[in-house]
Amino acid sequence: MPQAAFNPIPPILTAQNPNWYILGAGAIGCLNAGRLSSSGCNVTLLMRKGTLQTSLPIIIDRDGTRTTQRLPVVTPDNCKPISHLLITTKAYDVHDAVASIGHLLRKNSTAVLMVNGMGIAEQLRKDWPHLHFYLSTTTEGAYSIAPQHIQHTGQGETRIGRQGQNAPPPWFHQWSRAIDSCFWDDNIESALWAKLAVNCVINPLTALHNCSNGELGQRQELTEHVATLCNEVSNITHAAGFEQIAAALPQRVASVIAGTARNRSSMLQDVEGGRRTEIDYITGFLLRVADQFGIDAPYNRALIQDIKNNAH
Ligand code: KPL
């Protein structure tokens, strides 16, 4: 495979170009660590206590080309104070992972949360009220082949925002240069909900029926499940105040199914890999909102139970 190697000279730290610590070196963490680093950002991987390596190669395969970059590694025991953090762990690991580095975070440290599902930011804001949290959602296609070795399967879009902040912070300029299709979104809650609604339909169905995203649009018994689920998710979405997202949901789901037809959803990959799924932060979050509005959601309730019975 053709190789492209990057060995950037460490850049000077400024408010526009701070040192980014990556918490969660899975597919999305490595993809963004690699891109930020190759565009000249200082990037350090934050690994678990006990990690002995002081640097690790990040390998990204894309369209038959391999890019390898060696990035510095620190652990919570030997890390300097953190001013800028990117969180890319599994949803259910976020809280403990942040707690493990809590002593390194400073008043007003910046943390970008790029995690599947919803409901995590509220908890983080409660427990670390002094941090500046930014929320992010991405449609990048990437999966891990081995630790820190990822396959980048599809160019997606990354949106970042912070409630009540219209203009991006100084560091965002560097991100928009480093990451293709990376946008500042002054309505990030809507972007997160739009992604959540799609994930509520595609992820549990593909995980339960062990099928690719595309099969949801092809097999008749599955297209019926998709329609029923879209209807229920759309009602809850409407009640939560996202009327446009609710109205467009069936078309949006159909277009994601077509656009990612050969993908296996992240939830199906978790089930196949014997890992815990993120269902509590996807369907589970949706059901908590349904309860607030007194909406019956029998189909979603059955799905979450099936996933927990069969896959956890
Ligand atoms: O986000 C996804 C996921 O798998 O988690 C979709 C959009 C369904 C693509 O597979």
CATH number of the domain bearing residue 105: 3.40.50.720
Report the C-alpha gap between 179 and 158 in whole angstroms.
8
**Could you tell me if 91 and 172 lie in one domain?**
yes
What is the best residue among 31, 136, 266, 281 to mutate for testing ligand 1's pocket, by most ligand atoms within 8 Å of CB? Answer: 266
Domain boundary among 186, 216, 249: 186
**Could you tell me if 162 and 17 lie in one domain?**
yes
Q: Which residue segment(s) compose the domain that 50 sits in? A: 3-186
Domain boundary among 163, 186, 209: 186
Tokens matching residue 205: 């169905």
Amino acid identity of residue 17, one-letter, is N
pLDDT tens string 248-303: 999 999 999 998 888 889 999 999 989 999 999 999 999 999 999 999 999 999 99
Report the C-alpha gap between 239 and 220 in whole angstroms.
29
**Could you tell me if 63 and 45 lie in one domain?**
yes
Q: What does the DSSP 8-state code read for residue 279?
A: G
Partner residues linked to 4 by β-bridges: 67
Give how many domains the chain has, as a whole number. 2
CA of 89 to the centre of ligand 1 (A): 16
**Could you tell me if 145 and 178 lie in one domain?**
yes
Torsion angle of the four alpha carbons 186, 40, 124, 198, in this order, in degrees rounded to the nearest 10: 60
**Could you tell me if 37 and 109 lie in one domain?**
yes
Residue 260's pLDDT is 86
**pTM, to two decimals:** 0.92
CA angle 158, 92, 121 (to 5 degrees): 55
Amino acid identity of residue 116, one-letter, is N
Residue 106's pLDDT is 94
**Could you tell me if 41 and 116 lie in one domain?**
yes
> Is the pLDDT reported for residue 64 higher than 90?
yes
Tokens matching residue 155: 């160019």
Q: What are phi and psi of 39, to 5 degrees?
A: -95, 10
Domain boundary among 186, 214, 229: 186
Report the C-alpha gap between 289 and 86 in whole angstroms.
27
Query: Under 8 Å CB-to-CB from 243, ≥6 apart: which residues?
Result: none
Distance of CA 273 to the CA centre of its chain: 18
Protein residue closest via CA to atom 4 of ligand 1: 265
Mean pLDDT calculated for residue range 37-41:
93
